Amino acid sequence: MPPKKAREQASRQVNSAKQVLAPEVIAKRTRRHLDELERSNYAEPSISLLGEEEDDGAGGKYAKGRARQTISDKRHFGDPSAKKKKTSMNVRTAILYRKNLATLIEESGIAHLPPNVPTYLTAAAPPPVIPPRLLCSVCGYKGSYRCKKCSMPYCDLNCENVHNETRCERRVI
Amino acid sequence: MRSSTIVVLDNGASTIKAGIINNERDEDIQDKVRIIPNAVVRSKGDKSTYIGHEMERCRDYSALHYRLPFEKGYLIDWDAQKAVWDGLFSSEVLGISAAESSLLITEPYFNLPNIQEVYDQFVFEEYEFQSYYRCTPASVIPFGQLFSPGAAPPAECTLVVDSGFSFTHVVPIIDRQIQWYAVKRLDVGGKLLTNQLKEVASYRQWNMMDETYIMNHAKESCCYVSTNFLEDLEICRSNPKRNNITQEYVLPNFSISRNGRIRQPEDELTPTDQVLVMENERFSIPELLFRPDDIGLEQSGLSATIAASIMLLPSDLQGMFWANIGLIGGNTKFKGFRQRLFSELRSLAPSEFEVNILECDSPLTEAFHSGCAFVKDTNFSDLVVTRAEYQESGANASRRKFRDWQISEDNSKESEKGKAKQGLDDDDMGQLSRKPSRTKVRTGNTSTRRR
Ligand SMILES: [Zn+2]
Ligand SMILES: [Zn+2]
């Protein structure tokens, strides 16, 4: 527990800060964070697995150009004398032209199925019925206050200071 | 024609669980499972690329770069997938001749039709399997041991919780048919949890953002599901140094060990050892399965999602679902997972219903072993699409034959009407077109409603 003085000071800040940050801005930040949690790699290197240009892993768009070399062509396992068969056009296309999931969902047409047909889009868990709880964005303990600038929660004066010095209004890591 | 070799391939977004069933030689039927990473991994340390099974040769696990065939649970990078499958089918792992084999492969729930077509193309045009069957992991679970430990036949109404790398699904099944209209998805899986731990640890202690492998191991070693989250938070807060929650995870020193370890009391550290202190991180990370809103994800937690799914099922059968909940997938291995789920479900379920949660020894490979049982217990060769059928009618062949969400519409209507039209002979477990029979269910289990 923070000293009483600090608590009072902090709660005053909360009061004066109520509508500083629009809910859309917070929602956008949350969405960006959730997208980050989907990434397979934090640092996407400019040099790829096999030394050529690589499009970004998880959110990758179409492969950049026909010349892109594939990894599956490069390695042959087991019997080296095994006959090389011709790859079909369908398979070639799938290998060369990677599409991200959003594109594939759009192209699948599942958004236009009758509403009684269950799909990926309708299967998401329902929104929570219990109210959210505040957890300190610095130490993970119960949060009691929100930053007046960026509205991230913190638990005491100490964590408030850490927050202000490290990631207030920007994402440091 | 019956192929003598059947390849069972549980194609997970993080790991592939695969093996061979050989019909001609009975002694080979032992469901030997191979688990290989479904990834192409580049190691910064030795500047080598490891494809799938080759990862076991990798010695330097720091700063690995992952290329995963799956994005958000769906197969999108076929180049990477082909590389991993090429290795899997080669003599380095399974050593099969696809043209003389049949394949059972799992796909994600609600797989997209345009992605399913590519599965067909790879199976028949690239690998030229003799025949194949494609289904979701949960659909084979009724054939395994999870709901029927010993020899007891499984209940007719079961609910599979499949919590994997990409997401967590709640999958109700009546009479071996997935009830797609009640399948629900929580967008929390092992990948998100590891990434969250990476982020929190990096902010609070060491920069671990590039250390997915290490942090995944730390998560699997240290994390547990709390049965009293706020109380555990208090314990860590009020006595940070001395409490029974805090652990020290000693980061691996790659010249000596591949994995880090939890520091034991007598464990002397060397001056170069780096320690990651795991306090509320131990339980705050898996907590997201139960409270996705802790990171702002606007979804109900697992327990409420299960309750929501059951509410969509025929009301006279709901009691059976509460009593037959089974856990598969890696996240269900967290200590305390079942206990927490049980206490929450108990408070959500109507008091007259029994709540029962079943576990298996190996939630990671349960779908694989159930898939093997499925192949053996059904007339598998009647269920598959053959190469000839594919050549004849392309993707339509599998659309007609594989039961999934796209033909579930009629299914749910049938179940609403409650009409049990079935000439079923009970011996034929392979009769997948069998419709749910509510009459049979009622008489089949009298123990559900105890009070
Ligand atoms: Zn704090
Ligand atoms: Zn701030």
The residue with tokens 């790699």 is: A41
Of B82, B69, B42, nearest to A71 by C-alpha is B82
Residue A138 has pLDDT above 70, yes or no: yes
| Ranges B35-44, B306-315, B396-405: which has the least confidence | B396-405
Q: What's the token pair of residue B139?
A: 């659909």
Q: What span, in angstroms and rounded, lies between the C-alpha atoms of B125 and A95?
A: 13
Q: If DSSP codes are grouped into helix, strand and coil, which group holds residue B54?
A: helix
**What sign has the CA pseudo-torsion B326, B332, B335, B338?**
negative
- B298: nearest CB among A43, A87, A127: A127
By C-alpha distance, which of A155, A133, A152 is closest to A143? A155
Mean pLDDT over B370-381 rounds to: 92
Question: A57 vs B204: CB contact, 8 Å cut-off?
Answer: no
B426 contacts: CB under 8 Å, gap ≥ 6:
none
pLDDT band at A20; cut points 50, 70, 90: low
Each residue's pLDDT tens digit, A32-60: 999 999 999 987 654 444 443 344 443 34
Q: What is the pLDDT of residue B377?
A: 87
Identify the CA nearest to B75 among candidates A104, A34, A92, A68: A104
CA distance A50 to B42: 9
pLDDT of residue B429: 40
Residue range B118-140: mean pLDDT, rounded: 97
Ligand 1 centroid to residue A131 C-alpha, Å: 20
Tens digit of pLDDT for each residue in B89-122?
Answer: 999 999 999 999 999 999 999 999 999 999 999 9
Helix axes B302-311, B337-348, angle to 10 degrees: 40
Q: What is the spatial distance between Cα B66 and Cα B43, in angstroms, rounded to a whole number? A: 9
Question: Which one of the ligands is nearest to A142 CA?
Answer: 1
Q: What pLDDT score does B24 carry?
A: 59
Q: Comparing A43 with B17, which gets the higher pLDDT?
A: B17
pLDDT confidence of residue B434? 38
| pLDDT tens, position by position, A63-91 | 444 445 688 887 788 766 665 678 999 99
In contact, B118 and A94? CB cutoff 8 Å: yes
Backbone angles phi, psi at B209, to 5 degrees: -60, -30
User: For position B269, what pLDDT does the model report?
Assistant: 87
Of chain B, the percentage scoring pLDDT greater than 90 comes to: 75
pLDDT reported for residue B26: 53
Rounded distance from Cα A135 to ligand 1 centre (Å): 8
- Amino acid identity of residue B240, one-letter, is P
pLDDT of amino acid B204: 94
The tens digit of pLDDT for each residue in B218-238 reads 999 999 999 999 999 999 999
> Looking only at Cα atoms, what is the longest distance across chain A?
79
Contacting B residues, span 281-340, partner chain A, CB-CB under 8 Å? 281, 284, 291-301, 304-305, 308
Other C-beta atoms closer than 10 Å to the C-beta of B34 total 16
Q: Do A150 and A168 touch, CB atoms closer than 8 A?
A: yes
3-state DSSP assignment of residue B417:
helix
Distance CA B122, CA B78 (A): 9
- Nearest alpha carbon to residue B349 among B317, B301, B293, B303: B303
Closest ligand to residue A170's CA:
2
- Per-residue model confidence (pLDDT) at position A81: 60
Strands B131-135 and B101-106, by their bridges, are parallel
pLDDT greater than 90 at residue B217:
yes
Residue showing tokens 């999934």: B404
Q: What sign does the CA torsion over A81, A85, A86, A90 have?
A: negative
Give the closest residue to B118 by CA, choosing from B185, B69, B65. Answer: B69
Supply φ then ψ for residue B416, to 5 degrees: -65, -45
Higher pLDDT, B61 or A6: B61
Q: What pLDDT was estimated at residue A77? A: 83
Q: Is the separation of the CB atoms in B300 and A37 below 8 Å?
A: no
Which strands, in side-by-side order, build the sheet including B261-262?
B261-262, B247-250, B275-278
pLDDT reported for residue A83 = 59
Q: Render the burial of B4-31: b for 16+ CB within 10 Å, e for the rest.
A: ebbbbbbbbbbbbbbbbbebeeeeeeeb
Identify the H or E element spanning B51. Answer: strand B48-51
Q: Is the pLDDT reported for residue B25 higher than 80?
A: no
Residues B411 and B364: their CA atoms lie apart, in Å, by: 29
Q: Which of residues 65-104 of B touch A (CB under 8 A)?
A: 65-68, 71-72, 74, 76-80, 82-83, 86-87, 90-92, 95
Give the pLDDT band of residue B346 (cuts 50, 70, 90).
very high
Looking at per-residue pLDDT, the higher value among B300 and A170 belongs to: B300
Rounded Cα distance between B6 and B8, Å, is 6
Structure confidence at residue A80 (pLDDT): 62
pLDDT at B239: 87
CB contact, 8 Å: A61 with chain B?
no
pTM for this entry: 0.87
Among residues B136, B139, B133, B130, which one has the least CA distance to residue B177?
A: B139
Secondary structure (3-state) at B163: strand
The predicted model gives A25-29 an average pLDDT of 91
* Residue B155, token pair as written in the block: 């209940």
**Partners of A142 in beta bridges:** A135
Residues with CB under 5 A from ligand 2 (ion): A 147, 149-150, 168
pLDDT given for residue B240 in this prediction: 83
Handedness of CA A152, A154, A159, A161 (dihedral sign): positive
Q: Which residues of A touch B192 (CB under 8 A)?
A: 37-38
Of residues B419 and A73, more confidently modeled: A73
Alpha-carbon separation of residue B196 from A36, B32, B281 (angstroms): 9, 34, 10
In whole angstroms, what is the distance from residue A52 CA to residue B156 CA? Answer: 54
Which residue stretches of B239-317 are H helix?
281-284, 287-290, 302-311
pLDDT at residue B435 is higher than 60: no
Contact B238, B230 (CB under 8 A): no
Q: Which of B14, B67, B61, B66 is nearest to B214 (CA)?
A: B61
Confidence check: pLDDT of A146 > 50: yes
What the block records as the tokens of B345 is 């479900």
Tell me if chain B has a CB within 8 Å of the CB of A81. no
CB-side neighbour CA atoms (13 Å) of B106: 29
- Is pLDDT of B191 > 60? yes
Tens digit of pLDDT for each residue in B48-68?
999 999 999 998 888 899 999
Q: What ipTM was estimated for this complex?
A: 0.87
Question: Which pLDDT does position A22 carry in this prediction?
Answer: 83
**CA Rg value for chain B:** 23
Report, as an integer, the average pLDDT of B149-158. Answer: 82
Highest mean pLDDT among A53-57, A142-146, B181-185, B392-396: B181-185
pLDDT tens across B257-309, in order?
A: 778 999 998 888 888 889 999 999 999 999 999 999 999 999 999 999 999 99
Alpha-carbon distance B446 to B436, whole Å? 17
| Range from B169-178, B415-424, B432-441 that averages highest in pLDDT | B169-178
CB B92 within 8 A of CB A78: yes
Sign, CA dihedral B397-B403-B409-B415, equals positive
What are B296's two structure tokens?
């702002």
Give the relative orientation of helices B78-89 and A89-96 as an angle to the nearest 10 degrees.
120
Of B140, B165, B160, residue with least CA distance to B219: B165
pLDDT over 80 at B30, yes or no: no
pLDDT on residue A9: 46
Task: Determine the pLDDT at residue A84.
Answer: 66
Indicate yes or no: CB of A94 within 8 angstroms of CB of B118. Answer: yes
Residue B421 reports pLDDT greater than 80: no
pLDDT at residue B442 greater than cutoff 90: no
Please state, rounded to an integer, the average pLDDT across all residues of chain B: 88
pLDDT above 70 as % of chain A? 67
As a whole number, mean pLDDT of residues B157-185 equals 97
Task: Give dist(CA B112, CA B177) in Å, integer.
Answer: 19
Token duo for residue B250: 């000693």
DSSP one-letter string for B221-232: HH-B--SSHHHH
What local confidence, expressed as pLDDT, does residue B103 receive? 98
> B239 C-alpha vs ligand 1 centroid, how far in Å?
14
Name the residue type at position B153.
Answer: P
